[in-house]
Structure 1
């Protein structure tokens, strides 16, 4: 059977720590988790048919990435790759902000492609020479993918995602590579596992750090806070929203309520419009509080301009800390 879009990509289940890699029947492989847009790339079997680029949700976006579509013309026919779309900033680091601009490009798609070229980080192959590989074990699919990069001497915009079975290297990728913007953790895969579309059959581990910010607002009420809006000051002295927590558990919410003070009219967020999540347009109307309390929270490493994209986890109130102890906007800790 020849694969045609949309094909649901295989997914990963999140966990806090790396699972055991040694002694597992069949063996396990670990790959870095890059912070991009998941995509499947299809090269045509027949001359004249278009290259297709499919998002995780099934949308076709090759018109927004004309540079990748053109480069894919040099790849073999009947190929389906699974990977991450990425864009590098002028400093050579992965930029999610630039990637978002590319992903929402309209008529200026070719202009943006020239200014900020896209890259495709391939970590799996679902079809080769028109032959579906879904039932092949991951180890075999990896061999086919590595042979593709070697035989065709692929270079940027194509990147082969690293892969290892060495626990020491996996630890290095999780705890050292994630200091680099654009790398947020690792994905663990069974070497004997088949590709199961739509199934969370892999494991992802994001690195999490613990740090501090000021509580600038809450959803719910001051007596029953639900979600914390956390802020840090930038270099101009402006308090900026850097993230929101997951809903508080009842115990911490009760403890915190006794310390919250309603904001005065000079609160720096007075009149500011908030949305429910990082990429949402749904309005959020929080209760502002005096930004004097320091909250300790844990977060993964996915940031854009000092703002965490994923929800934060409230750990505790730091009554021993003051505003001076809170890192500035842009500090990755």
Structure 2
């Protein structure tokens, strides 16, 4: 029986130049998702395998437009007011039934397809990218896919990449992904490259300050190669809306916690310590940071809040030494 493979991944690159023999695609600000439609059954899952079909009834309703035994790789996004609204996705994981239907009506999600993994029963993962891309474009043209479905733009022209990075970022485009034209789809491998317009990094939430209903700041960590959760820094004060959205994603820590008994300074040049609530180090968040580090490898300046990433597995966060 055919099953969805693990997603192919991308390694970060600071270089926005499109290499020869590669194509570029827009990196949308959304959730990576893999989709399979077979014999009336929809499988929709996140990058780490979380089932999403019940949370996105609008995708389920549109799945019948696809050919039977077809699977796609793509991104779930939501548009609001002419720009991508990542925050409208964050509450979807916990919604089912009428609550999910209400959110689908208010802020409908779109599935932006950028790869085809199976086409009418044929496994296409071994095909080179350029052949898979042609098949994906043919699928959209032949089926007239629209509405919930969107085709991710692709180019082999540097001028187009420059235009995306210059003129499309105000609506929430994160950057670009580079894919080798002749490469197959390699599940789990970091064979693609991604270039982000802004520098952000991922970390795990190990504790927070402020009330449980709306945390004020987050204390962040990363595991080292010995498996210890190392404290790496604290965020700036969260916007109230972000704190309230974040609260249901945090789970109060069960003993023992890696940071049990620790004290955390309120800031440089002060002896004041923070009152913190420890949480299970399971939620990944994305924050903006600079290059400054202290002698222990921690971020010297407070990290700027960007977004929660419940769609990213803790194991995907870089190690402390990295």
TM-score range, shorter chain: 0.5 to 0.7
Alignment of 1:1-333 (within 5 A): 3-5=2-4, 7-21=5-19, 24=20, 27-44=21-38, 46=39, 49-89=40-80, 91-107=81-97, 108-181=99-172, 183-208=173-198, 227-231=232-236, 260-262=268-270, 279=283, 309-310=286-287, 312-315=289-292
Q: Distance in 1 between matches of 2:58 and 2:148?
A: 9
Q: What TM-score, normalized to structure 2?
A: 0.67
Cα deviation for residue 76 of structure 1 reads: 1.1
Q: Secondary structure at the match of 1:123?
A: strand
Task: Name the count of aligned residue pairs.
Answer: 248
Relative to structure 1, the CA distance from residue 197 to residue 114 in structure 2 (aligned partners, 3 Å threshold; closer, same or farther) is: same
Relative to structure 1, the CA distance from residue 162 to residue 261 in structure 2 (aligned partners, 3 Å threshold; closer, same or farther) is: same
Q: Secondary structure at the match of 2:60?
A: helix
Q: Map Cα deviations across residues 78-104 of structure 1 (whole Å, 9 max, x no partner).
A: 111100011222x13221111111222
Q: Distance in 2 between matches of 1:277 and 1:17?
A: 32
Larger radius of gyration: 1
Q: Secondary structure at the match of 2:23?
A: strand
Q: Distance in 1 between matches of 2:23 and 2:13?
A: 16
| 1:77–1:130 Cα contact (<8 Å) kept | yes
Q: What TM-score, normalized to structure 1?
A: 0.65
| 1:178–1:185 Cα contact (<8 Å) kept | yes
| 1:175–1:207 Cα contact (<8 Å) kept | no
For 1:295, the equivalent position in structure 2 comes to none
Cα deviation for residue 176 of structure 1 reads: 3.2
Q: Secondary structure at the match of 1:176?
A: helix
Cα deviation for residue 227 of structure 1 reads: 3.6
Cα deviation for residue 185 of structure 1 reads: 1.0
| 2:8–2:186 Cα contact (<8 Å) kept | yes
Cα deviation for residue 230 of structure 1 reads: 4.7
Relative to structure 1, the CA distance from residue 137 to residue 276 in structure 2 (aligned partners, 3 Å threshold; closer, same or farther) is: same
Q: Secondary structure at the match of 2:287?
A: coil
Relative to structure 1, the CA distance from residue 277 to residue 94 in structure 2 (aligned partners, 3 Å threshold; closer, same or farther) is: farther
| 2:235–2:305 Cα contact (<8 Å) kept | no
Superposed CA RMSD in Å reads 3.4
Q: Distance in 1 between matches of 2:64 and 2:220?
A: 50
Relative to structure 1, the CA distance from residue 209 to residue 82 in structure 2 (aligned partners, 3 Å threshold; closer, same or farther) is: closer
Q: Distance in 1 between matches of 2:305 and 2:54?
A: 35
Q: Distance in 2 between matches of 1:68 and 1:226?
A: 39
| 1:51–1:73 Cα contact (<8 Å) kept | no
Q: Distance in 2 between matches of 1:279 and 1:92?
A: 29
Q: Distance in 2 between matches of 1:128 and 1:17?
A: 34
| 2:7–2:188 Cα contact (<8 Å) kept | yes
Cα deviation for residue 329 of structure 1 reads: 9.5
| 1:278–1:309 Cα contact (<8 Å) kept | no
Which ranges in structure 1 are unaligned for 5 or more consecutive residues? Answer: 211-215, 236-256, 281-307, 318-327
Q: Secondary structure at the match of 2:163?
A: helix
| 2:65–2:145 Cα contact (<8 Å) kept | no
Relative to structure 1, the CA distance from residue 100 to residue 126 in structure 2 (aligned partners, 3 Å threshold; closer, same or farther) is: same
